[in-house]
A and B are shown apart, each in its own frame.
Chain A
Amino acid sequence: MIKFQNVLKKYDDVTALQGVNLQVRHGEFISLVGMSGAGKSTLLKLIIGEEHPDDGQVLIDDIDIATVSKTDLPYLRRKIGMVFQDIKLLPKRTAFENVAFAMEVCGHKKEKINGDVPKILDLVGLLHKRNHFPSQMSGGEKQRVAIARALAHRPVLLLADEPTGNLDEVNSDEVLELLLKINSLGTTVILATHASSLVNRIKRRVITIESGKIVREQAQGNYQL
């Protein structure tokens, strides 16, 4: 599904990624681990086409992301859901409206939005909080709303960039359980994190990045630095 072929990415003189070769198959759950600044976020940005590699190729279903035109990029992004550490919910909209927003901007009809959003909120276990504003929810709940928003387009791939970075242990566990549930429903998930306890618990494929290079790959790995 996703292939990195000898990818090099630099920001001015700083090398963010180099010599990265990676293959992600459909339906996988991958933990991308490494310290802050190791290059995890850059790798995710390359997948959604927000950054382009200085050398090498990033292929999604055999299409080179660098060749996707600016006009087509939004359509690619509808196939990829993204979740962030800082959550990025619109504070003046309710949980329902935040999820609906993602569908509105893509031109879905009101009837479809009204039908789909409750189902997605139910999936993340927040249907009862549909009319709550972000300020009325806990950190974990907000992150689950953000995940619901990322799922609104029924993406084939979900990228989670430190989704538990600002959450306590209980909330982190909730978010992780949710990501595993989404993965079990068929969506490929890439989780970038430095939370060792989470990674160790789930026993899935782990890719470790250090200073822009992949230094370790384990099929059912542990977090090791």
Chain B
Amino acid sequence: MESVSFLRVIKTGALNFWRNSWLSAAATMVMTITLVIFGLLFLLFGITNYSINTIKNTVDISVYFKVGLDEQQIFKIRDAVQADPRVKEVVYISQQQAFDEFKQRHQNDPLIVQSLNELTENPLSATLNVKTYHLEDYPAVAQSLQDPQYKDFISKVNFEDNRAVIDRLSRILKFIVTFGVGLIAVFCLIAALVVFNTIRLTIYNRKEEVEIMRLVGATNWYIRGPFLTESFLYALGATVLSALLFTPIFNQVLPKIAVYVNPQLTLFHQNLFNYWYLMGILLGLSLLLAAVSTLWAIRKYLKV
């Protein structure tokens, strides 16, 4: 008996969706706009966040040792730096490694290759690349390496200070979040109100039917069912439309942005976001909006 009711509810809901096609189209469109705005803000947020993280990863301190220094001495300094609780990782690049990497990097430049071949000894120095856990610790850690006790071993301490860029990006991110949450809230409210009114009009049209249903002993869920089905169809329609609109963004726009932000990305890692993940979120959001506004609209008619 239950499955018979369930099928009847779905059928009635689908029929109403079709019969009120203009109302359905309006509700679906408003919901689509809400979803698209939500999706775009979500992507914008993600891209900014990703950019910040990429730039954060480029910040490190390079410590150049004097040429010909004993490796044991370097290790001692490395261990001392490593012991600092602010330090996340220390990578040691030996003189030979630095030379090989340099050669590798410039293998296509005949002039450099020729010059390197003429060298009798390695002019590059060994280095330590130091990363800290927190951005704000970089200046202090760099400062500590310039301490007089290291004067005889270290020739140069260098770090690229990207903190200004990171600060600016963080501010943009904060703005996107604040502004975005407000915008999404407004559009969710508009969408909920439109769905609410659409369903209320449908219920009003079928007021008599609802009244008779109650009198002959239909359960409240049986009465709500068709209206819920109808609004879930708006939600599904809106998700499908948004999915279609987001397809070119995912295929064309996002990979370009990803490569622009981080040129080292390979072709296979250019998708910053999972398409289906975002569509899942949009579907969830639209179903939630539909359910809340429908149950709210029908409440009055179910008071016993």
> Measuring CB to CB, which residues of chain A are less than 8 angstroms from any residue of chain B?
48-50, 70-71, 73-78, 82, 88, 90, 101-102, 104-110, 149-150, 152-153
Choice from B208, B212, B220 contacting A70 with Cβ under 8 Å: B220
10 A-B contact pairs sorted by A residue (CB < 8 Å)? A48-B215, A49-B304, A74-B219, A77-B217, A88-B208, A101-B212, A106-B217, A107-B8, A108-B1, A110-B4
> Does B84 make an interface contact (CB < 8 A)?
no
- B216 pairs with A109, CB closer than 8 A: no
Which of B1, B8, B219 has the most chain A CB atoms closer than 10 A to its own CB?
B219
> Does B71 make an interface contact (CB < 8 A)?
no
Choice from B2, B208, B213, B304 contacting A105 with Cβ under 8 Å: B213
Residues of the A chain whose Cβ atoms lie less than 8 Å from the Cβ of B215: 48, 77, 82, 88
> Does B89 make an interface contact (CB < 8 A)?
no
Using A50-B304, A70-B304, A73-B304 as known contacts, say yes or no to A109 and B219 having CB atoms under 8 A apart: no
> Measuring CB to CB, which residues of chain B are less than 8 angstroms from any residue of chain A?
1-2, 4-5, 8, 208-209, 211-220, 222, 304
- B218 pairs with A105, CB closer than 8 A: yes
Q: How far is the CB of A124 from chain B (nearest CB, A)?
A: 16
Residues of the B chain whose Cβ atoms lie less than 8 Å from the Cβ of A101: 212, 216
Choice from A48, A75, A107 contacting B5 with Cβ under 8 Å: A107
Which of A70, A101, A105 has the most chain B CB atoms closer than 10 A to its own CB?
A105
Q: How far is the CA of A82 from the CA of B211 in the complex (A)?
A: 12
- A105 pairs with B1, CB closer than 8 A: no
- A109 pairs with B217, CB closer than 8 A: no
Using A50-B304, A108-B1 as known contacts, say yes or no to A90 and B209 having CB atoms under 8 A apart: yes
- A107 pairs with B212, CB closer than 8 A: no
- A78 pairs with B212, CB closer than 8 A: no
- A153 pairs with B216, CB closer than 8 A: yes
Q: How far is the CA of A21 from the CA of B212 in the complex (A)?
A: 30
Q: How far is the CB of A37 from chain B (nearest CB, A)?
A: 22
- A106 pairs with B220, CB closer than 8 A: no
Residues of the A chain whose Cβ atoms lie less than 8 Å from the Cβ of B222: 105, 107
Using A90-B209, A105-B222, A108-B4 as known contacts, say yes or no to A75 and B216 having CB atoms under 8 A apart: no
- A90 pairs with B212, CB closer than 8 A: yes
Residues of the B chain whose Cβ atoms lie less than 8 Å from the Cβ of A106: 216-218
Residues of the B chain whose Cβ atoms lie less than 8 Å from the Cβ of A75: 217
- A78 pairs with B217, CB closer than 8 A: yes
The 6 closest A-B pairs by CB, nearest first: A105-B218, A78-B217, A77-B217, A102-B216, A107-B5, A107-B1
Residues of the B chain whose Cβ atoms lie less than 8 Å from the Cβ of A108: 1, 4
- A109 pairs with B1, CB closer than 8 A: yes
Residues of the A chain whose Cβ atoms lie less than 8 Å from the Cβ of B220: 70-71, 74
Residues of the B chain whose Cβ atoms lie less than 8 Å from the Cβ of A107: 1-2, 4-5, 8, 222
Residues of the B chain whose Cβ atoms lie less than 8 Å from the Cβ of A74: 214, 217-220
Besides A105-B222, A106-B217, 12 new A-B residue pairs in contact (Cβ under 8 A), listed by A number: A49-B304, A50-B304, A71-B219, A74-B219, A75-B217, A88-B208, A88-B211, A90-B208, A106-B218, A108-B4, A110-B4, A153-B217
Q: How far is the CB of A146 from chain B (nearest CB, A)?
A: 10
Q: How far is the CA of A135 from the CA of B5 in the complex (A)?
A: 29
Q: How far is the CB of B208 from chain A (nearest CB, A)?
A: 7
Residues of the A chain whose Cβ atoms lie less than 8 Å from the Cβ of B212: 88, 90, 101-102
Q: How far is the CB of A69 from chain B (nearest CB, A)?
A: 10
Q: How far is the CA of A104 from the CA of B2 in the complex (A)?
A: 11
Which of chain B's residues has its CB closest to A153's CB?
B217
Q: How far is the CB of A220 from chain B (nearest CB, A)?
A: 31
Q: How far is the CA of A149 from the CA of B304 in the complex (A)?
A: 21
Q: How far is the CB of A46 from chain B (nearest CB, A)?
A: 13
- A109 pairs with B4, CB closer than 8 A: yes
Q: How far is the CB of A101 from chain B (nearest CB, A)?
A: 7
- B4 pairs with A105, CB closer than 8 A: no
Q: How far is the CB of A74 from chain B (nearest CB, A)?
A: 5
Which of chain B's residues has its CB closest to A82's CB?
B215
Residues of the A chain whose Cβ atoms lie less than 8 Å from the Cβ of B8: 104, 107
Choice from B1, B208, B216 contacting A152 with Cβ under 8 Å: B216
Q: How far is the CB of B91 from chain A (nearest CB, A)?
A: 66
Q: How far is the CB of A35 from chain B (nearest CB, A)?
A: 25
Residues of the B chain whose Cβ atoms lie less than 8 Å from the Cβ of A76: 217
Which of chain A's residues has its CB closest to B3's CB?
A107
Which of chain A's residues has its CB closest to B223's CB?
A105
- A77 pairs with B2, CB closer than 8 A: no
Q: How far is the CB of B228 from chain A (nearest CB, A)?
A: 16
Q: How far is the CA of A101 from the CA of B210 in the complex (A)?
A: 11
Q: How far is the CA of A48 from the CA of B1 in the complex (A)?
A: 24
Which of B208, B209, B217, B222 has the most chain A CB atoms closer than 10 A to its own CB?
B217
Residues of the B chain whose Cβ atoms lie less than 8 Å from the Cβ of A88: 208, 211-212, 215
